[in-house]
Copies of this chain bind each other. A is one copy, B any other.
Amino acid sequence: MDGRPVSLAQEMFAIAPAQGKANLTAAQLKLLAGKARWIFRVGEAGFPTVPTIAITRAAWEALQAERTRQDIRLRTHWVSCLFKLVSKDGKPPALVVRTSAATHNSGLQPARTGIAAPAAPEDSVDPTRALAKAIKQAFDSYGFSPKGWSFRQEDDRARQIVLVQAEAEGEIEQFLTRNATTGAIGPAALNGAPLPRSPESVGSLISLLDSKAGRHMACLVSSHRGKLQFLSARPVQASAAAELEAAVDRVQHKVWSPHNAVSRVDPNRLSQLLHPRIKSTDEVNPIATGLGVAPGAASGIITFSAEDAARLRARGKHCILVVNETGPADIEGMKAATGILTARGGMSSHAGVIARITGKPCVAGVRTLSVDTVEMVCRIGAREFRPGDRLTIDGSDGSVYLGTLPLAQPHIGGAIGTLLGWSDASRSISVRTNVETVESAATALSFGAEGIGLARSEHMFFSPERMVALRRMILSEDEEARSLAVNGLVDFQTGDYEALFSVMGGLPVTVRLFDPPLHEFLPRTDEEIEETAASLGVAVRALKMRLDRIAEINPMLGHRGVRLAITYPEILQMQMQAVIAGARAASEKTSKPVPVEVMVPFVSTASEVAWVRDRAMAIVANAGLDRSDRVKFSFGTMIELPRACLRAGDIAGMVDFISFGTNDLTQTTFGISRDDAPTFLAVYQRKGIYERDPFVTIDEKGVGEMIAIAIERGRAANPRLKIGICGEHAGDPGSLKFFSGLGVDYVSCSPYRVPVARLTLAQAST
């Protein structure tokens, strides 16, 4: 029967008749959208339910057309359908008209109650009469919200439904099936309405709905002389924590299997539970206080526009979007910001709603704040702030602090720990992390990381005193100067590697060879150049000349990655020595094995891989490591250029593993510089050119095919090849599902995304 249109007479039917069962056809069951679905289910389960009928827009319009033709065939069906609202006593009830949209939204017509039953058949379709008028207005209200429907075609619009109910006697009670914040089983208060007078009386209804819907529901019942009648229910969005607690609770009450729980929690919402908090506020006072409308703490640079926020994010900077209030135009900026601060609005303001949905810490309604986007300045009380100044906000209590406060990281426990434990049982792809500091590694381990898939050696230099050493190397004029500078780096690195290998306690660590694109590591502004010149002990003029000489027009595609190792082999030599020394020291200290995976980045030809591998592995062979060191080296390459994907067959024969760098692969496959994309990417999404930002969710049809080609060729040439993904997409649920289908061995993402990856990969493998 599926797919075949039902006759219009069949599109007006009782979903909970006053007498007997509904006996719906398959086609009618498919029409049950929104509340209709829950009314039918509750009624079918035997719980007292107010008599309810449904009519589709198509049927309603046919009734109206028939009326102008002065025909009565369909009307006869309609009247007989209305009679299904009449109980045994035969007394026509007062009527209620309800919308029943697939997705609830505020544009819909509220329930119309107290409608007199039609006095004559012709009244039942006459739009000047109460019933038909209410039905028409209910249908009309769907027009305001095409997005409220999951359908797209005009056909589907015809299948929208409106409900007519018998009005119940007694008092109306509203409540939630579960607490929206904690997830505990209800009844729980909805919008401050009083709880049912006898909570135990709704217990069975709550259990029924909770198991049928598997999510938080808002319920409407009538209570008359101790007798309950179910009127309606609709799902509500609970906090991520509440959803998670509810999922675990359902498993504990045998409503769900652990497998069910794993598959039904949205990984995107999981990440919202992993918020940092301010370590200590003992010594600091807030400079302002507003409402904490979305939890978590955030520090960052002040910015006033979505475009600037996107730009900063593309460069890996944290920012706080500071605005008077937010609106639909700000959503992109909010997504790009680390936190949001508004002068106006409260818990249910646009800022609050979007911040909670997107999981961004948000402080709203700071009365002492005003933003002047023309002058590009904001004032908090008497203080003035400009773009680039730093703030810290705490979305849990609404505090705003000056500068950058140290944040403490969340930990995995309770419901989230339980759920992730279950998820690991059905997951076959490993989850590693992209870190290079001991602190981040510890965070990632606490989140369940099973190794480091990407340690970006050059990121170990993101502190002022170390940056000097790195810049000295990049800026060196000849091999001698470069060797000296590299020696300076090795001193730092040996200790860094030892600490990193030690904290990982025997788990594999992938060390990516130096890959510093010039634009990320060289000073740019006059101020930075002066500072750098001072720290390097050279004249500003000389430094500027040197910078001019090595400046690149497109540093993303410049002298970096493997190109650096081949042109300056002394860098490779010394880095390998540091890695070996660090590994040996860690093995001695921890008495655990140290599996080191050396990874060469940014290759485009197999000859580059061979060149570096031969030299790197010769250094390892000559290091005099023996069995007692328990250090094991393997060698691989990062696949992040289209040519490397095509030549993966040649490359695979020379390596133990490959790992896809999906960020750079997306940049080169699309020909887009991520740093520069904000100027057109927003327009592209608005005009529908890109459905999604390809830097957030992997582009399956382009970049994805590149990866698929590489995996196929790589595995054909080397069946024992280990394959990973280490770009940022490895923390995105949509992308992870795709990677899972490609048969990769591991993914590696930032520490906060590790739980998301664990859950998503468990879902994808079932």
Contact B667 A643 (CB under 8 A): no
Measured between beta carbons, the chain B residues less than 8 angstroms from A701 are 646-647
Contact A679 B643 (CB under 8 A): no
A672 to B644, CA, bound (A): 13
A563 to chain B: closest residue by CB: B680
**Is A229 positioned at the interface, with any CB of B under 8 Å from its CB?**
no
A402 to B233, CA, bound (A): 89
**Is A669 positioned at the interface, with any CB of B under 8 Å from its CB?**
yes
**Is A624 positioned at the interface, with any CB of B under 8 Å from its CB?**
no
A603 to chain B: closest residue by CB: B671
Contact B553 A680 (CB under 8 A): no
Contact B566 A673 (CB under 8 A): no
Contact B643 A703 (CB under 8 A): yes
A684 to B679, CA, bound (A): 35
**Is A567 positioned at the interface, with any CB of B under 8 Å from its CB?**
yes
Measured between beta carbons, the chain B residues less than 8 angstroms from A688 are 607
A703 to B690, CA, bound (A): 25
- Size category, A interface: 35 or more
Measured between beta carbons, the chain B residues less than 8 angstroms from A323 are none
A611 to B664, CA, bound (A): 26
**Is A699 positioned at the interface, with any CB of B under 8 Å from its CB?**
yes
A699 to chain B: closest residue by CB: B643
Contact B605 A553 (CB under 8 A): no
A607 to chain B: closest residue by CB: B689
A647 to B640, CA, bound (A): 19
Contact B519 A679 (CB under 8 A): no
Contact B559 A556 (CB under 8 A): no
Measured CB to CB, the closest approach of chain B to A549, in angstroms, equals 10
A688 to B566, CA, bound (A): 11
**Is A451 positioned at the interface, with any CB of B under 8 Å from its CB?**
no
Contact of A605 among B519, B557, B567, B689 (CB under 8 A): B689
A604-645 vs B, Cβ < 8 Å mask (1 yes, 0 no): 110110010000000000000000000000000000111100
Contact B519 A553 (CB under 8 A): yes
Measured between beta carbons, the chain B residues less than 8 angstroms from A699 are 643
Contact of A690 among B602, B605, B679, B689 (CB under 8 A): B605
Measured CB to CB, the closest approach of chain B to A644, in angstroms, equals 8
Q: A647-B701, A684-B566 are in contact. Are A675 and B641 (CB under 8 A)?
A: no
Contact B706 A673 (CB under 8 A): no
A611 to B641, CA, bound (A): 28
Measured between beta carbons, the chain B residues less than 8 angstroms from A702 are 604-605, 642-643, 646-647
A672 to B672, CA, bound (A): 13
**Is A484 positioned at the interface, with any CB of B under 8 Å from its CB?**
no
Q: A566-B684, A608-B689, A701-B647 are in contact. Are A553 and B671 (CB under 8 A)?
A: no
Contact A676 B552 (CB under 8 A): yes
Contact B670 A559 (CB under 8 A): no
**Is A23 positioned at the interface, with any CB of B under 8 Å from its CB?**
no
**Is A558 positioned at the interface, with any CB of B under 8 Å from its CB?**
yes
Contact of A683 among B567, B605, B668 (CB under 8 A): B567
* Residue among A555, A689, A699 with max Cβ neighbours from chain B (10 Å): A689
Measured CB to CB, the closest approach of chain B to A707, in angstroms, equals 11
Measured CB to CB, the closest approach of chain B to A189, in angstroms, equals 47
**Is A687 positioned at the interface, with any CB of B under 8 Å from its CB?**
yes
Measured between beta carbons, the chain B residues less than 8 angstroms from A641 are 669-671
A642-665 vs B, Cβ < 8 Å mask (1 yes, 0 no): 110011000000000000000010
A672 to B706, CA, bound (A): 18
Contact A673 B558 (CB under 8 A): yes
Contact A670 B689 (CB under 8 A): no
A563 to B685, CA, bound (A): 12
CB-defined A-B contacts under 8 Å, sample of 19? A552-B673, A553-B556, A554-B673, A554-B675, A557-B557, A557-B671, A558-B673, A559-B679, A604-B669, A604-B672, A607-B689, A607-B690, A611-B687, A642-B642, A642-B671, A643-B702, A643-B703, A647-B701, A664-B671
4 A-B pairs besides A555-B676, A566-B683, A643-B699 with CB distance below 8 A are: A567-B683, A642-B669, A643-B671, A646-B706
